[in-house]
Amino acid sequence: MTGSRSLWAVSLPLSLLLSWGCVEQEPDRPTEEDKRNIRQNILKKVPQMKFKVNADLEGKVTYLGLDVDRDKIQPGQQFTLTHYWQVHKRVEGWRIFVHLNGPEKRGFINADHKPIGGRYPATKWQPGEIIRDEHKVTLPSDYKESTVMVMTGLWKGKLRMKIKGPQDKENRILAATLPVSGAPTKPPPKPRRLTAVKSAKPIKLDGVLDEPVWAKAPSSGEFVNTQNGGKLDWKTEVKVAWDAKQLYFGFTCQDDDVWSDFKKRDEKLWTQEAVEIFIDADGDGKDYVELQVSPNGVIFDSYLPEYRKNQNDWNSKMKAAVKVDGTANKRGDKDKSWTVEVAVPWADVKGRGKAELKLPPEPGTVFKVNFFRMDLPKEKPQRAGAWSPPMVGDFHKLDRFGELVFGDEEGKAPTAAAPAPPAKTPSAVHPGKVVRLEGMQRRNLRTRMVPAKLHMLRAKRPPTKK
């Protein structure tokens, strides 16, 4: 998810991905099934609903209220929110956001999505319509609060549409406050740990992982669902290597439709298809870098001095090469995969940070890192996978980063003290990068996982980016 992206904060039909930083990507043409679904969710009269709100948004739209499919929310278990909107005037360029928050802004979750399975965004709404928008969300399994507030509204860039009605003084409609039962006993998965193997010679960047060091380097294992850590039916893995001059990453991405139409550096790669790398070299949970590569070899790089505060004017000297097994950007054929090799000079792993680090590191050194992949199948919602799942819609959740341990040429490393735990990731205040996560089914994570990189994940993505 990126710059400011919030990844799908909840298990939504993934329209998300990632809030400040996540930006929604509109598919080219709706299918006949999409059109039928849209018609079925444009109502002729105001329905009965559990939570009546009637909040006015600048005379253009009325948020009528909300239905919830259960009386008490259970952390870790999916539930359904159904929003009702009445349209009075066109709202071109505006998007809806949905935030879940515990008391005093604790436990923030970005549940941004595009209405009606992602096929009928607010910018297309017509005067006179009553929109029924249903999406599924999940509170993290470690959610500790006794209640969760559902907040929504319309946003564009750094603006939110003004509200007359119940709100939190930040132009977020207070749709409902729902009771939450005790957290389940199953704890969230532990952050992951991966060893980087030292390479005897520089790696040739050609997108082909055929150097001897790649055979020695352990795999990250398959990426998992960003929201719940569950298995994905599309595979992604990464390996890491290093030498005296650079840190290397090798991604393998299973993909039957490899594409991206971005051609310029620092475009919003997270809104289509990309691999993402987050590096908190000193492990302090404060400043970090975010790096991305698209299937076309286009890069995005950003330095964040603190949570979600992307500085996209920072340019690293990272290099990347991509190899596609198939035909990139030809959406009518079947591809197999794409592989990526990335080289990051040691001077760039900490961005503009001033921390005193020994670079290149010695075996046994530990960095805090995370890896994500964004994928956008043809005529389907965007989806996201993670190495160390944030368990919320925020790719910038620094305390969920995994550990990258530096090994020698055999991958062995002396026991090293783990970096100090990062400061608690702050709650985001604006909609951010939304990620359409697979587990969140169709609802801009990305997280990067966000306007001006407002994602709940990047300590600062996505979706504006993140």
Tens digits of pLDDT across the chain (466 residues): 444 343 333 333 333 333 333 433 444 567 888 899 999 999 999 999 999 999 999 999 999 999 999 999 999 999 999 999 999 999 999 999 999 998 877 888 999 999 998 899 999 999 999 999 999 999 998 888 889 999 999 999 989 999 999 988 889 999 999 999 975 555 667 779 999 999 999 999 999 999 999 999 999 999 999 988 889 999 999 999 999 999 999 999 999 999 999 999 999 999 999 999 999 999 999 999 999 999 999 999 999 999 989 999 999 999 999 999 999 999 889 999 999 999 999 999 999 999 999 999 999 999 999 999 999 998 888 899 999 999 877 899 999 999 999 999 999 988 754 554 555 555 443 333 333 334 333 333 433 433 333 333 333 343 333 4
Q: Are strands 193-198 and 402-406 parallel, antiparallel or unpaired?
A: parallel
Where are any strands of DSSP class E within 88-207? 95-101, 109-110, 130-138, 147-156, 159-160, 163-164, 173-179, 193-198
What contacts 400, CB < 8 A, 6 or more positions away?
191, 370, 388, 389, 390, 391
Ramachandran assignment for 58, one of left (phi > 0), alpha (psi -120 to 50 degrees), beta (any other)? left
pLDDT at res. 466: 42
Residue 113's nearest CA partner among 450, 452, 434 is 434
Buried b (16+ CB within 10 A) or exposed e, 150-185: bbbbbbbeeebbebeeebbeebbbbbbebebeebee
Distance CA 438, CA 372 (A): 13
Q: What is the DSSP string of 26-87?
A: --SS--HHHHHHHHHTEESSPPP-SEEEEEEETTTEEEEEEEES-SSB-TTSEEEEEEEEEE
CA torsion angle for 72, 150, 108, 18 (degrees, to 10)?
A: 110
Q: What one-character-per-residue DSSP string does 311-356 give?
A: BTT-----EEEEEEES-TT-TTS---EEEEEEEEEGGGTTTT----
Q: How far apart are CA 386 and CA 8, in angstroms?
A: 12
Q: What is the pLDDT of residue 4?
A: 37
Q: CA 124 to CA 90: how far, in whole Å?
A: 8
| 91 neighbors 155 (Cβ within 8 angstroms) | no
Angstrom CA distances, 103 to 107, 144, 152, 387, 424, stand at 8, 11, 16, 30, 16
Query: For the chain, which domains are there?
Result: 193-406 (2.60.40.1190)
* Residue 275 burial class via C-beta count within 10 angstroms: exposed 0-12, middle 13-18, buried 19 and up: buried
pLDDT at 423: 53
